[in-house]
Chains A and B, each alone.
Chain A
Amino acid sequence: MTAISQPKSSAMNTLGNIWRKGGVLIAFTVLSGVFAVLSPRFLTIDNWLNVLLQTSTIGIVAIGMTFVIVTAGIDLSVGSTVALSGMVAAVAMRAGSPGLIGILVALTVGGLVGLFNGFSITKLGVTPFIATLATLAMGRGLTLAVSNGQTIFSFPDSYNYLGEGEIAGIPVPVIVLLLAFIVAHFVLSRTVFGHGVYAVGGNREAARLAGIHTGRTELLVYVIGGVLCGLSGIILMGRLDAALPTSATGLELNAIAAVVIGGASLFGGKGTMFGTLLGALTIGVLANGLNLLNVSPFWTQFIQGAVIFVAVLSDSLSQRKKN
């Protein structure tokens, strides 16, 4: 007689599927619930604005990373790109450029780094991992070189506005973050370009035969990622009113984590902007809550790592089931 139970091996696969189908929402809600019970300060508006503010730099970078990861790519150079674009702008403004030019410089430098990544990947055929790993090193080196290893301070208010301004009590970075997500969500889910991004990640050969410009799509994805790094760099610098040559070191890990926790697959073809936003917020809430509870920062880092591990694990488990 056939039994009613499901095959045993599926227990782990089910874990993968549950995560995919809204695990991030559950994780985020449960986590917030726990912190709300444990710390009275957690649920205040001030604290939430703080979480959003802390999330803004990672979140904006994670938007670009989502595009990249959905094409089955990866961008390890984002931390260096954030630092480099901010630093070049800082050097320009120290030489007398007005704030607006500084902003344009940062965005352009970010875009150029992305263009370089995209070019090596699509035209020279270097794998995304290796190409962007090289850019990570080169970008950080350039940052140190143009700044002479020094921190540069104090920029025009027009430049700092994006990082430290407020509109009706809401920090400008938070507004920028949310706007960027709305636009990106629309681009990824509703436009021809967005459909192409999914297609390239879902099955590159089939996409090419179906008439998608796979190379152009991929190139653009890295450029978008780079420009968003520039934006993130502006916000980061503006908040501190300083450009550090070592800023945003290791940012790639958190950005990738936000995307994967948000349900995207490192194997491509899957992922949403909404998921990434929740993924970034989950990381932010985790850091914020543990901080409110006076957990040591060392343990905070460990716990964040563990959460990333679970997310990546469920990704490869559901991938294994497919094969």
Chain B
Amino acid sequence: MPLLTMTNISKRFGAVQALQDVSLTLDAGEVLGIVGENGAGKSTLIKILGGAYFSDTGSIVFDGESITIDHPEYSLSRGISVIYQELSLVPELSVAENLFLGHMPRNVLGGIKHNEVMQRSRTLLERIQLDVSPRQRLADLRIDARQLVEVGKALSRDVRVLVMDEPTSSLNEKEVQHLFSVVRNLKAEGVAVIYISHHLEEVFEICDRVMVLRDGKEVDTRPTTEWTPTQIVEAMVDRPIEDFYPKANVPIGDVVFRADGLSLNDRVQNVSFDIRAGEIVGLGGLPGSGIIETAQIIAGIRRATGGTMTLQGQPYHPQSPHSAIQSQVGYVPEDRKEQGLFLEFSIRRNIALSILSKLSKFGVVNNKSTEAIAQKAIVDYKIKAAGTGAPVKSLSGGNQQKVLLARVGQSDPILMIMNDPTRGIDVGAKVEVYERIGEFVQQGGAVLLLSSELPELIGISDRIVVLRNGQKIADIPRNEFSQNVIMSYAAGTSGGNNE
């Protein structure tokens, strides 16, 4: 008998039928993958399992017993732990406090049992193979370590079902492998895992069975061995995708942007490169290599401490993001929730924000043209939403990302800096984003691309500039691209001196 059975689950939000009669079963020690386009209903399904949402219809049987999940606390008490798409840790607290968030071991007087907390924290950190002190502040950890702390937090209770909603959207290859080794250990202990991801390679690597959702309905569920990647994609998007990294043949024009000896203290040292019209330049490097700082300098977020930049032959010294935008340099930040979007505001307001001065006369915003722009963006970027007035927080993760891209696109940039532009968006939508980037360069635009996914960087760049320890190590042309070459430059096994 399966450990968990969900039968005919349906959920509607206003006019959107997010789920319709979806059923699943899950055995102990099994990893079930759930894939589907943005807005297919994946997060909604597991939010119902976690007690965050309440289903309209359907039934749930756990451990042979019919249960009603009416509260997150109930799921936790049954050993069902959900790690949501948006991390739920408290950055200001210590690792230990985060691990036991909401159920600190306490003595009879209500005091915290410090020794026990430390002891158990260490055991948990060992289980997730994370080498940090329990006393460390979470805010000081890197994003991959935080993701593991989320897993540790789930393990701090007796977990029998662990659900992970896009846990790897901001992890690199090595960090993903670390997470997987933790998952494999849990599996061996008999924990059942639900794994949601847009990365099909990962799904094929870790899952025993894969369920495909489309428009809130179950398309098919099969053992992983009976799926091929092409079949899964076709089931997801309802059409075959021939080319995952479409690359238009664009003639390379004049230099649009040039950096000369760019420096930021010792984090970026004397970096020079240029980007031509029609060109997509990838900027590769490990965390701490200085690629993010370089992108931020160009976007006007940080001031360089040395070096010069030119934009279309003119000196370019952005004093602020505002002046960068004025100079037609657009920036897509990596963290849409913290740096990109206004979750409570409408789609319309989010999209129009950077071009308000264009949409207004004497400081008064023209509502009609704002609405028109927003409606066009919803169509152009295929944003799945109830309307332009819907708050961004009601959109699925991938559709939120599209709103962000739409806003940056509005300000008519000649140079676009994109930091993880396809984070959390589905395969079909990724292809659409690449096509839009392609159109942009075809019209003479220039792109600087940063990505946590090496295949993406390799897939659509014309050249890749690699930084290591703040220094430019290599400038690799497209015909020499390979994961190995780029990784060996980035990690320091070739080019420059080893550290």
Chain B 341-361 residues near chain A, CB threshold 8 A: 341-345, 349, 352-354, 356-357, 360
Knowing A192-B356, A192-B363, A205-B339, the reply to whether A198 touches B321 (Cβ < 8 A) is no
Chain A 162-221 residues near chain B, CB threshold 8 A: 190-196, 198-199, 202-203, 205-213
Residue pair B55, A2 in contact (C-beta under 8 Å): yes
| Size class of the contact patch on chain B | 35 or more
Residue pair B70, A210 in contact (C-beta under 8 Å): no
Residue pair B51, A7 in contact (C-beta under 8 Å): yes
**Cβ of A44 under 8 Å from chain B:** no
Cα A132 to Cα B341 in complex, Å, equals 30
Knowing A9-B71, A205-B339, A210-B407, the reply to whether A198 touches B345 (Cβ < 8 A) is yes
**Cβ of B301 under 8 Å from chain A:** yes
Knowing A2-B59, A3-B70, A191-B364, the reply to whether A202 touches B342 (Cβ < 8 A) is yes
**Cβ of A6 under 8 Å from chain B:** yes
Interchain Cβ contacts under 8 Å between A and B, 14 examples:
A1-B68, A2-B55, A2-B58, A190-B367, A191-B364, A192-B356, A193-B363, A195-B353, A199-B345, A199-B353, A205-B338, A211-B354, A211-B411, A269-B345
Min CB gap A56→B, angstroms? 27
| Residue from B70, B321, B325, B326 within 8 A of A7 (CB atoms) | B70
Residue pair B353, A6 in contact (C-beta under 8 Å): no
In the bound complex, residues from chain B placing their C-beta under 8 Å from that of A140 are none
**Cβ of B398 under 8 Å from chain A:** no
Knowing A2-B55, A202-B344, the reply to whether A210 touches B321 (Cβ < 8 A) is yes
**Cβ of A320 under 8 Å from chain B:** no
Residue pair A208, B321 in contact (C-beta under 8 Å): yes
Cα A6 to Cα B341 in complex, Å, equals 30
Known: A205-B339, A211-B325. 10 other contacts (CB 8 A): A2-B55, A2-B58, A192-B360, A194-B365, A195-B356, A206-B333, A206-B341, A209-B299, A211-B324, A211-B411
Residue pair A209, B70 in contact (C-beta under 8 Å): no
Residue pair A199, B342 in contact (C-beta under 8 Å): yes
**Cβ of B228 under 8 Å from chain A:** no
**Cβ of B231 under 8 Å from chain A:** no
**Cβ of A294 under 8 Å from chain B:** no
Which residue of the partner chain A has the closest CB to B58? A2
Chain B 313-335 residues near chain A, CB threshold 8 A: 320-322, 324-326, 331, 333
In the bound complex, residues from chain B placing their C-beta under 8 Å from that of A203 are 338, 341-343
Residue pair A210, B354 in contact (C-beta under 8 Å): yes
Cα A304 to Cα B254 in complex, Å, equals 69
Cα A243 to Cα B354 in complex, Å, equals 46
Min CB gap B340→A, angstroms? 6
In the bound complex, residues from chain A placing their C-beta under 8 Å from that of B343 are 203
**Cβ of A5 under 8 Å from chain B:** yes
Min CB gap A115→B, angstroms? 20
Cα A1 to Cα B65 in complex, Å, equals 10
Residue pair B68, A212 in contact (C-beta under 8 Å): no
**Cβ of B66 under 8 Å from chain A:** yes
Residue pair A213, B322 in contact (C-beta under 8 Å): yes
**Cβ of B481 under 8 Å from chain A:** no
In the bound complex, residues from chain A placing their C-beta under 8 Å from that of B333 are 206, 209
Cα A191 to Cα B366 in complex, Å, equals 9
| Residue from A3, A191, A205, A207 within 8 A of B68 (CB atoms) | A3
Per-position contact with B for A1-44: 1 when CB-CB < 8 Å, else 0? 11101111100000000000000000000000000000000000
Q: How many residues on chain A are close to B (CB under 8 Å)?
A: 30
In the bound complex, residues from chain A placing their C-beta under 8 Å from that of B338 are 203, 205-206
**Cβ of B54 under 8 Å from chain A:** yes
Residue pair A2, B349 in contact (C-beta under 8 Å): no
In the bound complex, residues from chain A placing their C-beta under 8 Å from that of B360 are 191-192
| Residue from A1, A7, A202 within 8 A of B345 (CB atoms) | A202
Min CB gap B368→A, angstroms? 12
Cα A210 to Cα B71 in complex, Å, equals 38
Cα A97 to Cα B343 in complex, Å, equals 52
Per-position contact with A for B63-84: 1 when CB-CB < 8 Å, else 0? 0001011110000000000000
In the bound complex, residues from chain A placing their C-beta under 8 Å from that of B488 are none
Residue pair B321, A211 in contact (C-beta under 8 Å): yes
- Residue from the set B301, B331, B338, B344 with the largest chain A CB neighbour count within 10 Å: B344
Cα A9 to Cα B321 in complex, Å, equals 42
| Residue from A7, A8, A191, A207 within 8 A of B363 (CB atoms) | A191
Residue pair A270, B344 in contact (C-beta under 8 Å): yes
In the bound complex, residues from chain A placing their C-beta under 8 Å from that of B326 are 211
In the bound complex, residues from chain A placing their C-beta under 8 Å from that of B363 are 191-193
Residue pair A269, B57 in contact (C-beta under 8 Å): no
**Cβ of B192 under 8 Å from chain A:** no
**Cβ of B32 under 8 Å from chain A:** no
Which residue of the partner chain A has the closest CB to B53? A7
Cα A207 to Cα B343 in complex, Å, equals 12
In the bound complex, residues from chain B placing their C-beta under 8 Å from that of A191 are 360, 363-365
Which residue of the partner chain B has the closest CB to A265? B344
Min CB gap A194→B, angstroms? 8
Cα A75 to Cα B357 in complex, Å, equals 29
Min CB gap B348→A, angstroms? 11
**Cβ of B291 under 8 Å from chain A:** no
Min CB gap A289→B, angstroms? 35
Which residue of the partner chain A has the closest CB to B356? A192
In the bound complex, residues from chain A placing their C-beta under 8 Å from that of B354 are 210-211
- Residue from the set B55, B343, B353 with the largest chain A CB neighbour count within 10 Å: B353
Which residue of the partner chain B has the closest CB to A196? B356
Min CB gap A17→B, angstroms? 13
Cα A259 to Cα B326 in complex, Å, equals 35
Give 5 nearest A-B pairs by CB, closest first.
A211-B325, A202-B342, A211-B322, A192-B356, A210-B353
In the bound complex, residues from chain B placing their C-beta under 8 Å from that of A7 are 51, 54, 70-71
Cα A212 to Cα B357 in complex, Å, equals 10
Residue pair A212, B365 in contact (C-beta under 8 Å): no
Cα A83 to Cα B234 in complex, Å, equals 71
**Cβ of B162 under 8 Å from chain A:** no
Chain B 24-73 residues near chain A, CB threshold 8 A: 51, 54-55, 57-60, 66, 68-71
In the bound complex, residues from chain B placing their C-beta under 8 Å from that of A210 are 321, 325, 353-354, 407
Which residue of the partner chain B has the closest CB to A186? B364
Residue pair B365, A6 in contact (C-beta under 8 Å): no
In the bound complex, residues from chain B placing their C-beta under 8 Å from that of A209 are 299, 301, 321, 331, 333, 339-340
